Structure 1
Amino acid sequence: MRMGRKMEWVGRANHMGGIPRKLVFMAVGAFAKAVATLLNTTSVHNADTLIRLVRSRPPGVPLLTVSNHMSTLDDPVMWGFEGFPLFDTKLARWVLAAEDICFKNALLSYFFRLGKCIPITRGAGIYQEHMNEALDRLSDGAWLHTFPEGKVSQEDGPIRRLKWGTASLIVRAPVTPIVLPIVHHGFEEVMPEKFLGGRRPPFPLFNKNISIVVGEPIEFNLPKMRQTAISMSRNLSLSTAGWHSASPNGMDEGAQRCLYATISEQIQTVMESLRSFSKSFMKSKV
């Protein structure tokens, strides 16, 4: 049975004349800017590329930013650096948010919907209804942010294997989005998962160094990648449970899996190279 989209009407730009959304972005934006620039020191590499793509892209072309996930504050605080158009609700990102954390009750659901958050149910697969909503936003030419690792990790280690949801959005979008990788450090110190009694602190910590490294757009040759995936999948025998039997491009489940894995690995490789670069970037700012 097709499930409805939770409180999607709240996320529409014309909800109550857009006033509740503007109020939420003013409040959350002020919080993000205070944490990023007043309470802590934030350094950003290649900020101009991000700002340019947020402000001015070719008409109808969506932007898909991807980043590592170091804390529950990554979004919105990572957008609180100096010069970013944080308070513009039209330019603001849509973001995939964990349903079990951000949408636990009606009040939270209303608040996060106003903040342009799309609920994602962990373990429900890449074809769940709210992934279709994310696809709709890309179809509108909007900006969508995802954390393709799927959960918070505060370990200082390599980028983990990426979930396939982001790759599926890239493939299924009517217009291939501009995919921009971002890697950050420092949020694990601002909001550590295990602080007092193994819990997060009640308020963000201060006097920490945050670094944000913005990469360059990742190029995907999707027609060639589709053909390669179809060739690779011919020898695979897979269960089709929960998968579309054929995509609009005639790809069966095996081909879809191969394609999503290839795209995810490419993004992961780029993010890992950014992570390595960010180490030297942080040292240069100390």
Structure 2
Amino acid sequence: MSNPTPASRPGAPWRLASVAVMGSVGAASRAFLYGLNKVEVTGLDNLLGVLDRRRSGKRDRGLLTVCNHVSVLDDPLIWGILPLRYAVDPENLRWGLGAHDICFKNRFFSAFFSYGQVLPTHRLWHSPNGGLYQPTITQAIKLLSSPSSVVKPSDMTFTTTGSDCFVSPSAFAANHYAWVHIFPEACCHQNPENTLRYFKWGVSRLILESDPAPEFVPMFIHGTQNIMPEDRGFPRFLPRIGQRIRIMIGQPTDADSLFGHYRSAWKRLVEKSGDPELLKNDPEAMQLRVDVAKAVRDEIQKLRLSMGFAPEEDETAALAETWSKEPNKRKFKSPVDGSLVNRH
């Protein structure tokens, strides 16, 4: 018997729950940002223009937004910049990556964050299930890409540990060509000069392996670190108000125009190996991921400099090995640049 074509979208109860979660969180984030803080957004039309075009049915590729990470509240707080009409349209909103041990630690949290279009992600420093090739990264690649012509019953769910089980968003055709947002630093990095850490290679997989190449929009944020500073005192659980929040959104660009030569190199490696699985530890493939992550970081760095921050004094900050001396802890002061780090 032939495989059925992919279901169009999740059932009505799931969609209603998603509208409720994303709409209420979006409204709360917007009220907090604009009601209790001073917000300056540059380039908002760049993002809204893409979302409007995609909502009108002109979706022939995914959307990848990439941003620095300075606060545990960056997501969902930064999406409060979107007018409320966008917050009740989940099919045109972002899919994000959330820590499995925090966002999915019980049944209630799992349901809430799943309805909120968050994918369960393991951090390798914390869990042996983490890393570049965990199932969640594969889900994100599929969400960015075109839908498959067939779907197997086994594709309807996925597991991140072998014992948990989540509905697979990529099983639904309407979820493809999706908007995926990622913080490639993969931890909160609070530095007075808002410098950048190295970018992890998951973002490289999203760019190299999605098909077709997604639309790419870089972002840079400053000020949310003052809402939830890592060195805050009592009451630690309360966000601080009256802060100046600055968000810059870059021009949307076809990823092929920025990273096309890397994608071509990846395709040659896949053709040569005959199986992408064989490229997990291939030296050329690994170097390609390093180069793509660095290139993505350079795009965010351009926005940072345009906001008036000083250039980096040490270019090795873009390399993973520079940060390898950091302790294997959740929260610490980095010995590399003195920043406060939270691997939330």
TM above 0.5, yes or no, is: yes
Alignment-derived partner of residue 134 in structure 1 = 140
The CA deviation at 1:224 is 2.9
The CA deviation at 1:108 is 0.8
Alignment-derived partner of residue 295 in structure 2 = 266
Query: What's the CA shift string for 1:7-54, capped at 9, x where partnerless?
Result: xxxxx7425152211111222112101111101111110110111112
The CA deviation at 1:82 is 5.7
Alignment-derived partner of residue 87 in structure 2 = 86
Alignment-derived partner of residue 306 in structure 2 = 277
Query: Does the 8 Å contact 1:226/1:255 carry over to 2?
Result: no
The CA deviation at 1:264 is 0.9
What 5-or-longer segments of structure 2 have no aligned partner?
Answer: 1-8, 125-129, 146-175, 270-275, 310-344
Alignment-derived partner of residue 185 in structure 2 = 149
Alignment-derived partner of residue 107 in structure 1 = 108
Letter in 2 for 1:254: P
Are residues 1:202 and 2:237 paired?
yes
Query: What's the CA shift string for 1:121-178, capped at 9, x where partnerless?
Result: 1112211111111122112101000000111111134211100001101111111111
Are residues 1:68 and 2:68 paired?
yes
Letter in 1 for 2:136: H
What 5-or-longer segments of structure 1 have no aligned partner?
Answer: 1-11, 233-242, 281-286
SS state of the match for residue 308, structure 2?
helix
The CA deviation at 1:228 is 5.6
Are residues 1:173 and 2:210 paired?
yes
- CA RMSD of the aligned region, Å? 2.5
Query: Does the 8 Å contact 1:95/1:144 carry over to 2?
Result: yes
Structure 1 residues 231 and 134: alpha-carbon distance in aligned structure 2, compared to 1, 3 A threshold: closer
CA distance in 1, matches of 2:43, 2:301: 17
CA distance in 2, matches of 1:231, 1:175: 16
SS state of the match for residue 140, structure 2?
helix
Aligned sequence identity (%): 30
Structure 1 residues 14 and 99: alpha-carbon distance in aligned structure 2, compared to 1, 3 A threshold: same
Letter in 2 for 1:131: I
TM-score for both structures, normalised by structure 1: 0.81
SS state of the match for residue 153, structure 1?
strand
CA distance in 1, matches of 2:69, 2:229: 12
The CA deviation at 1:268 is 0.8
CA distance in 1, matches of 2:90, 2:262: 35
Alignment-derived partner of residue 158 in structure 1 = 195
Alignment partner of 1:183 out of 217, 220, 223: 220
Structure 1 residues 174 and 166: alpha-carbon distance in aligned structure 2, compared to 1, 3 A threshold: same
Query: Does the 8 Å contact 2:36/2:242 carry over to 1?
Result: yes
Alignment-derived partner of residue 44 in structure 1 = 41
CA distance in 2, matches of 1:94, 1:227: 26
Letter in 2 for 1:176: A
Query: Does the 8 Å contact 2:208/2:266 carry over to 1?
Result: no
Query: Does the 8 Å contact 1:226/1:259 carry over to 2?
Result: no
Alignment-derived partner of residue 230 in structure 2 = 193
Structure 1 residues 61 and 209: alpha-carbon distance in aligned structure 2, compared to 1, 3 A threshold: same
Runs of 4 or more, structure 1, over 6 Å off, are 229-232
The CA deviation at 1:195 is 1.0
Structure 1 residues 174 and 230: alpha-carbon distance in aligned structure 2, compared to 1, 3 A threshold: closer
Letter in 1 for 2:304: R
Query: What's the CA shift string for 1:44-89, capped at 9, x where partnerless?
Result: 1011011111221442210000001111111111111263622322
Query: Does the 8 Å contact 1:230/1:255 carry over to 2?
Result: no
Alignment-derived partner of residue 277 in structure 2 = 244
